Amino acid sequence: MPGRWSWTDAAIFIVFFVTIRCVFIWLATKAFVMMIPDGDACPMCDDETLAIERVGGWRVLGERFRRSWCIGCGWEGVLRRSDVWLSAERHRKLVNQIEASMAKSRSHSGQLPLNSKKSS
């Protein structure tokens, strides 16, 4: 009969609309993530921001996002970490490690090490 539905028709109908709903939710999430500012500059005053400790529900967002606080205007919110920022952070850590190792190996001209001084 042309006017009757079968269970196969119902399953196809349900799968189709559930898939459409999931695609809309996925697209809305992607659009929301793209609206979060990228980098470490304040979206209000374009000043430098500081990272805030990741506690509570913010950790669910993952490593790609960070809570930030603006030094200039006091803005607090979430920023996306860009690839440029991540590579700059890695570079900064590497430079700090190199400087620390060089500071340990520097000689103090004209001074003896502390363990070789004679006590009188």
pLDDT of residue 96: 78
Are 47 and 19 within 8 A, CB to CB?
A: no
- d(Cα 115, Cα 23) in Å, to the nearest integer? 69
Local confidence pLDDT in tens for the 120 residues of the chain: 567 878 888 899 999 999 999 999 999 988 988 888 888 788 888 888 888 877 767 667 677 788 888 888 888 888 887 665 556 666 677 777 778 777 766 555 555 555 555 555
pLDDT of residue 70: 87
pLDDT of residue 26: 94
- The token duo for 89 is 């952070």
Name residue, tokens 């060089």.
102
pLDDT of residue 99: 80
Nearest Cα neighbor of 50 from 23, 31, 77 is: 77
CA atoms within 13 A on the CB side of 71: 8
3-state secondary structure string across the chain: CCCCCCHHHHHHHHHHHHHHHHHHHHHHHHHHHHHCCECCECCCCCCEEEECCCCHHHHHHCCCEEEEEECCCCCEEEEECCHHHHHHHHHHHHHHHHHHHHHHHCCCCCCCCHHHCCCC
